[in-house]
Amino acid sequence: MHPAEVLDQIATLLERSLAPAYKVQAFRRAADTIRDRPVEQLEQLAKAGRLLSLSGVGTSTSRVIAEVLEGKTPKYLTNLEAEAAPDAGAGGEIRTALRGDLHSHSDWSDGGATIQQMATAARDLGHDYLALTDHSPSLKIARGLTAERLRKQLDVVAGLNQELAPFRILTGAEVDILEDGSLDQEDDLLAELDLVVASVHSKLRMPEQPMTDRMVAAMANPHADVLGHCTGRMVRGRGRPESTFDPDLVFGACAHFDKAVEINCRPERLDPPMRLLEQVVSWKCKVSIDSDAHAMGQLEWQPYGCARAAEAGVPVERIVNTWKADDLLDWTAAHGKAA
Ligand SMILES: [Zn+2]
Ligand SMILES: [Zn+2]
């Protein structure tokens, strides 16, 4: 095996384990540096102790390259592989039923991989489709896409879809739900997208009543299809408390307008919390189980959400990303027709 492939594998496993971006980048950069160099040439460099002279190759990465060249399995790789892979537990059947993922980011906003890399990684996981949902303009720290950049992205996706068919990248956006409940993108552009995830990213500590109004207004918007990470909580590191809203009104609105509530699979989010997910089920809301991946390896997080869906008793037919792409798109298009 060429050492670049092993470096790529390590980078993807690091992403899965939520490692800091600089660490992942070190492996991706080293992989790119050596990708086009023949193994014999790398062997000569290793023998001369000169692997470190390659730009982008550092201590850890040079050790991995050397080990692969010696025919060994690098320790760095075995350690990462030994770390528990995301396990769907009782949600195994749900995971098997998933045909796609409806929330993902590319390097057009704050993701670490290109659209093509994300799409091929999703395809390699067995998916039929991946919704590309980069951030919207007001999320400046995440390089949210202006209307102009999103229009450009639509052309790029159209081109990639020709190459990747029958796999399909669904056009989309994760739009901010602004303070007044409106969506952070031009209406006619939202109307063009296959799928829109609407999420709160600002003023998360708003009092319950205006937050409820804000979220209900967003779900009433015909362009919104999925309510992203509804409480905004963070359960790792310093953490972040849940936003407060009236779940009956918000999930009632999702049910009324036939929108899906997202089960966000990011290990630091796992949103909604179980007690709210149980309410989602009793309101008979549709659900989407999404990775919210910002890197290729993070697409592997869906089992976390499948486990939670199984625990809460979400019926499989209510999970919109178990549907065929055409059925999914009929459902999102029906929302737009209400406009
Ligand atoms: Zn992001
Ligand atoms: Zn988000």
Q: Given this model, what pLDDT does residue 84 score?
A: 80
Which of 220, 90, 108, 125 shows the shortest CA–CA distance to 172? Answer: 108
Domain that holds residue 160: 89-337
* 155-159 mean pLDDT: 98
- Edge-to-edge strand order for the sheet containing 286-290? 100-101, 129-132, 168-176, 195-199, 226-227, 260-264, 286-290
Which of 206, 145, 142 shows the shortest CA–CA distance to 178? Answer: 206
> Please, what is the average pLDDT of the chain?
96
Considering every ligand atom, which ligand is closest to the CA of 108?
A: 1
Distance 49 CA to ligand 1 centre (A): 40
Instruction: Tell me: do 35 and 96 sit in the same domain.
Output: no
For tokens 């023998």, the residue is 47
Give the CATH number of the domain where residue 75 resides.
1.10.150.110
Q: Are 193 and 173 in contact (CB under 8 A)?
A: yes
Q: Does 58 have pLDDT greater than 60? A: yes
* 224-244 mean pLDDT: 97
Instruction: Tell me: do 191 and 96 sit in the same domain.
Output: yes
Q: Does 172 have pLDDT greater than 90? A: yes
Instruction: Tell me: do 75 and 146 sit in the same domain.
Output: no
Distance 61 CA to ligand 2 centre (A): 32
Distance 113 CA to ligand 1 centre (A): 12
Instruction: Tell me: do 96 and 70 sit in the same domain.
Output: no
Instruction: Tell me: do 158 and 27 sit in the same domain.
Output: no
Burial of 42 (C-beta count, 10 Å sphere; 0-12/13-18/19+):
buried
Distance 287 CA to ligand 1 centre (A): 21
Q: Given this model, what pLDDT does residue 338 score?
A: 62
Instruction: Tell me: do 9 and 147 sit in the same domain.
Output: no
Distance 46 CA to ligand 2 centre (A): 44
Q: Say which range, 12-26, 113-127, 166-180, has the weakest mean pLDDT.
A: 12-26
Q: Are 58 and 33 in contact (CB under 8 A)?
A: no
Instruction: Tell me: do 101 and 189 sit in the same domain.
Output: yes
Angle at CA 215, nearest 5°, toward 265 and 109? Answer: 50
Confidence of residue 83 (pLDDT cuts 50, 70, 90): confident
Q: Given this model, what pLDDT does residue 336 score?
A: 80
Distance 136 CA to ligand 1 centre (A): 10
Q: Are 291 and 101 in contact (CB under 8 A)?
A: yes
Distance 103 CA to ligand 2 centre (A): 9
Which of 203, 303, 194, 212 shows the shortest CA–CA distance to 254? Answer: 212
Instruction: Tell me: do 57 and 163 sit in the same domain.
Output: no
CA distance 99 to 123: 10
Domain stops at, among 34, 64, 82: 82
CB burial string 92-123: b at 16+ within 10 A, e below: eebbebbbbbbbbbbbbbbbbbebbbbbbbbb
Domain stops at, among 52, 82, 112: 82
Domain stops at, among 20, 49, 82: 82
Distance 2 CA to ligand 1 centre (A): 32
Instruction: Tell me: do 67 and 170 sit in the same domain.
Output: no
Q: Does 311 have pLDDT greater than 90? A: yes
Instruction: Tell me: do 180 and 326 sit in the same domain.
Output: yes
Q: Does 339 have pLDDT greater than 60? A: no
Confidence of residue 337 (pLDDT cuts 50, 70, 90): confident
Q: Does 132 have pLDDT greater than 70? A: yes
Distance 265 CA to ligand 1 centre (A): 14
Confidence of residue 236 (pLDDT cuts 50, 70, 90): very high
Instruction: Tell me: do 105 and 74 sit in the same domain.
Output: no
CA distance 257 to 276: 19
Q: Does 101 have pLDDT greater than 60? A: yes
Distance 182 CA to ligand 2 centre (A): 16
Give the CATH number of the domain where residue 176 resides.
3.20.20.140
Distance 159 CA to ligand 1 centre (A): 24
Q: Are 243 and 231 in contact (CB under 8 A)?
A: yes
Single-letter residue type at 305: G
Distance 238 CA to ligand 2 centre (A): 18
Q: Does 209 have pLDDT greater than 60? A: yes
Q: Does 250 have pLDDT greater than 70? A: yes
Reported as a single tens digit per residue, the pLDDT across 267-278 is: 999 999 999 999
Instruction: Tell me: do 66 and 95 sit in the same domain.
Output: no
Domain count, the chain: 2
Q: Are 136 and 144 in contact (CB under 8 A)?
A: yes
Confidence of residue 255 (pLDDT cuts 50, 70, 90): very high
Please, which residues have CB within 8 angstroms of residue 204's CB and are 6 or more apart in sequence?
Answer: 232, 240, 243
